[in-house]
Structure 1
Amino acid sequence: MNKFLELVKIELKVYVRDHIALFWTFLFPFFILVIFMSISPSRDNSQATDVVFIEHDASDKARDYFTELEASITKSPVTVSFSSVSTFEADADFPSNQLRIALMQDTNDNQPLLQITHASKPTQASLVLLNIIELLAGSREFQNNTTTNAYKIVIQAHESDSARSGIEGARSLTIGLICMSIMSTCFFGFSVVLVQLRAANALKMYQVMPLHKAIYSSAFMISRVLIILIFAIVFIVIADLLYGIGITYTFGNFVSFIALVSIGAMTFISIGILVASRVSSVSAANGIINVLYFPLVFLSGLFFPISSNFEWLNTIASYLPLKEYAEMFEQIIFTETSFLSFTSTLILMLVWGGIPFLISQSNFVWNADR
């Protein structure tokens, strides 16, 4: 066990000292995440703020209150347009430059409420006007000028369909980048490295050492799995802090996350071992890996939906490991769905990982001159 742990430690040190490998494993996915999220629809802060008065209560008292409030808002430096409606659909999409104001009664203490609703991602001008309205409605001078009693102010954010789709997009992008990084680390950081070691005859020494080859192989694999786990945990936590993707921080979800990362890592490592088992040159290994890597990424639909008029292409895509794996990953992490709901995906991952691993055991070449 001590020899095994020492080998794992050595492999981790070797990987950490490789700055290029660290860049592609840890930093590059963050660049992709920031770029993709930055080209999402932006909020236009130059447009006028639209104030909508919702007249649930069509009484003269409510109209007088809105009239006084409108007159006071007009004096503010913010460009404002006003409109009034009798009702609003609760699930209607909410423009980022809009504020909705309604008068109602608090059912708990029967106190009149001034409810102000803004978009989940409001424009800067809307936020400024929101502060102005809050100050106006709460000031004694304004309350004395109106014909109504003082209102309790309630401010809430409206999560529109576009906001929800934005969160879902950020979730899919985050999981897609994690899955892509798992596969790329297993292919380029494992398979190609094995070929490099064989080409340099560095693997030959493990045949003369008093150490079973399986111990070295296991230590090499575990070191890569640990690197992938560290990356995945750091990546998803930072993505949640930056973009609010809604991770549930529970022990059960943490265990599921580790299990999902490990399943993907072991599957793609097995494929990588098969590729490296007989390839003698690094250039050939890179060529084979690229032939596998790019079709898997693009046909999986990780970053944009894939549709084809060729039914056979859609059928092939459904049997590729990355597509089903990413969908299972996202559902289990964000909806806490059970692994039992993805039995077919787990079987698919087992087939893609088990068969290459078994084949490579009898075909792996340790010496470059064989």
Structure 2
Amino acid sequence: MTNIADQPYRVLARKYRPATFEEMIGQDALVQTLTNAIALGRLAHAFILTGVRGVGKTSTARILAKGLNCEGADGAGGPTMSPCGACDPCKDINDGRHIDVLEMDAASKTGVDDVRDIIDGAAYRPVSARFKIYIVDEVHMLSRSAFNALLKTLEEPPDNVKFIFATTEIRKVPVTILSRCQRFDLRRVPVDVMTHHLQTIADSEQIKAAANALVHIAKASEGSVRDALSLLDQAAAMNADEISEQAVLDMLGQVNTDLILKILQACLNGQTAAALDLFATADACGAEPDVFIADMLDNIHLASLIAGGADSSDQPEAQSRMLTAIATAGIARLGRAWQLLLNGHREIKDAPNPKTAAQMVLIRLAHIAPMPTPA
């Protein structure tokens, strides 16, 4: 295990927070656009960054603030997409104590008085930096009057002032604000990119992790790097820095894919008793009913792709064979099974006993299996 006696432990999500654009993953379009804008001297005065939690909105804002104010190691540098991290502005921004880079959490400061402080401060030149930068996190939480108070300053700010807004709820931001900002949509990080990132960090932290275990963590994170690192942290703590696939499945309340496919095959064959016996095995392993049905939906989707002519070579060999066998049921039957499972997934959330609701879903799925499909 990693020695933790030397210094206080920092969670992986904080320890590996990107400090440069080179360290960011999955946001190539954003990085390329900002790189060209700085190189051409066509940098907007206001940016709004949107995306799901944990994809790098606040990190992007801080890196951009460093890049705009970086002086270089020799003190003679200009705006750059590769801040040196060694000059005083970079160090102060990293530590969150730069007098000209101000962060505001709009979730706790929502009123017009809070925005008025920004408006008043924007009228003054930066004290020591090249640009005075205002980073407003969760900007959608501002009140309507606060947004209205910001409009004039946002439309015609001083040349040495930049605004960077971040939000997870872009639809709640008034269109009058959006029209005054350059918008960037940060994407969910793909599973393969996330898995490689997790493997790199696991190697750095001397954590032994099975490849499939990291794939499950990457999928469970739903494209959020912060969520993925939090799950990796949890799995490492639970298993003493040796993470197996089964340990991750237990932690996530998921079932081994082979077992899911066997249950799905039994249902499509009309074998109700066999399907219920296999579900009992999954339940004994701690499977959550809603996660279990969601996993069945994922595999129905994969089987439907194969039935439609897609390649299954990216799946493990044993699972590929089982999916191919399930795909022989045909798109019509698989589509019907998808609809039943999708409705069942909704029912589980409303049911007083999710386990019995999941059993009823399997019974219904096995019952309709022999029935002819619509012409």
TM-score by length of 2: 0.28
Q: Which has the higher helix share?
A: 1
Higher-RCO chain (CA-CA 8 Å, sequence separation at least 6): 1
Larger radius of gyration: 1
